[in-house]
Every structure is written in C-alpha cells, then in structure tokens.
Structure 1
Amino acid sequence: MTVDDAALDRAFTALGDPVRRALIARLSRGEATVNELAEPFEITKQAISRHIQVLEAAGLITRSRDGQRRPCHLNPSALEALTGWIDEYRLASERQFRRIDAILETVKEQER
C-alpha cells in the first residue's frame, strides 16, 4: 500500500496534537457531532471545530449530513494506509532482529 509523503505529513501532523488524538479515540467508538466531541474538553466549540477541520484535511475523518446533524466519522481507509506504512518498517525491523537472533544462536551453538 503506497501513501504519498504529503498525505503522511498531514496525517502525522494532525495526530501530533493530543486533542486531535483524543477526538480520534472518541470517534473509534462511533460517530459524534461537534457538540458531543467538545463535551470532555475545556476549550471552545470553535477550537474543537478547528481541530476537526485539521483531521478532515488530513483525511482521517469525514462528516456527513443527517438532517440538522453533521456527525463526524473515522475514515478507516486512511487509518489503514497509516498502519500499513508503519507496518512496512516494523516488519523490516523484525526481520533484522530475527537475522541477528539466528546469528547469535549459531555463535552460541559453535561455542558449545
């Protein structure tokens, strides 16, 4: 899975803020409106709206229209793209550690 650098930059910049990470965590439990998202924070709804705009611009969340409501939703494909990018490097590191483990095991057996 390929993610372009600009999309990665926007996503990681968006996730660099603790309020936005908390919003993502809340949305992982289901859709919510701006008012619902703002409840646990001691900041204005306008500030929450700006955080939501950053998350939307990064492609991490979407908003829909349900009558007067405009609930926010996580964008699972964007999160999958991020985890896929991270997994590439995690798996590469794990392969290197397995090779090192194999070498150390060989050395250990030779010393016996």
Structure 2
Amino acid sequence: MKETIFNALAEPNRLHIVELLRNGPLSVGEIAEQLGLNQPQTSKHLRVLSESGLVEVKPRANRRFYQLRTQPLMELDDWLESFRRIWEDRFDNLDEYLRKLQAQEKLAGEKE
C-alpha cells in the first residue's frame, strides 16, 4: 500500500492536488484552474490518486468533487512515526555521548 501511495505522490502535480485538497473538497475544474492544467490531465492525475486510495469522489449534480481520504494518510503517518522514534532515540544517544565527551574534556583540562 505504501508503495502505491509513494508512487502516486512522486508526481509533482499529484502532490500539489493532495495539498490543495487539504483545505476541503474541490471539483476537477477547480483543481485544474488552480494548477494551470487542462481538465483531461487533471482527471488523469485524480484517477491515479483515487486508485491509490488517497482521494475519493463525491458526485454533486453534474459535477464530481474530490476529497482526501484520511485512512491511507494515517497509515502513512504511523509508518513514518516508527522512523521518527528511531531517529529520536539516536539523537538522544548522540546527546548523551557528546555530554560525556564534554565532561571528559573538562576533566582533562582541569588536570593540566
């Protein structure tokens, strides 16, 4: 699932669409206008985002509105959180190591 999401977001226009949809649902025409794309290009990008599970479409009258789906983004955030914890632990260990080095240098300087 993550691979599909990353592949969908790797294309800059699709990433911009996701960023636009953070503020709420938009029609294909509104997305196309804001990105300066033609409607067929925009529809193609939206189809990829829909197939990846990132967006869903809600028809209203004769227009189709796209909105973000929270579930895949939450799953992606959970996956990224595991990396955040690893890096936080590593930075904590580095801080501890640097404090020890500073204490040793201070002690060595006092002995001289």
Larger Rg: 2
With structure 2 as the length reference, what TM-score do the two structures score? 0.86
Large movers: runs of 4+ above 4 Å = none
- Determine the structure 1 residue equivalent to 2:15: 21
Alpha-carbon RMSD across the aligned residues, in angstroms, is 1.3
Cα distance in 2 for residues equivalent to 1:15 and 1:83: 14
Q: 2:5 is matched by which residue type in structure 1?
A: A
Write out per-residue CA displacement over residues 50-80 of structure 1, whole angstroms, 9 at most, x where no aligned residue: 1001101111111112232221001112111
Q: How far did residue 81 of structure 1 move?
A: 1.2
With structure 1 as the length reference, what TM-score do the two structures score? 0.86
Q: Which structure has greater helix proportion?
A: 2
Q: Which runs of 5+ in 2 are unaligned?
A: 107-112
Q: Which structure has greater strand proportion?
A: 2
Q: How many residues align?
A: 106
Q: Which runs of 5+ in 1 are unaligned?
A: 1-6
- Determine the structure 2 residue equivalent to 1:60: 54
Q: Is 1:72–2:30 an aligned residue pair?
A: no
Q: Relative CO higher for 1 or 2, CA cutoff 8 Å, sep ≥ 6?
A: 1
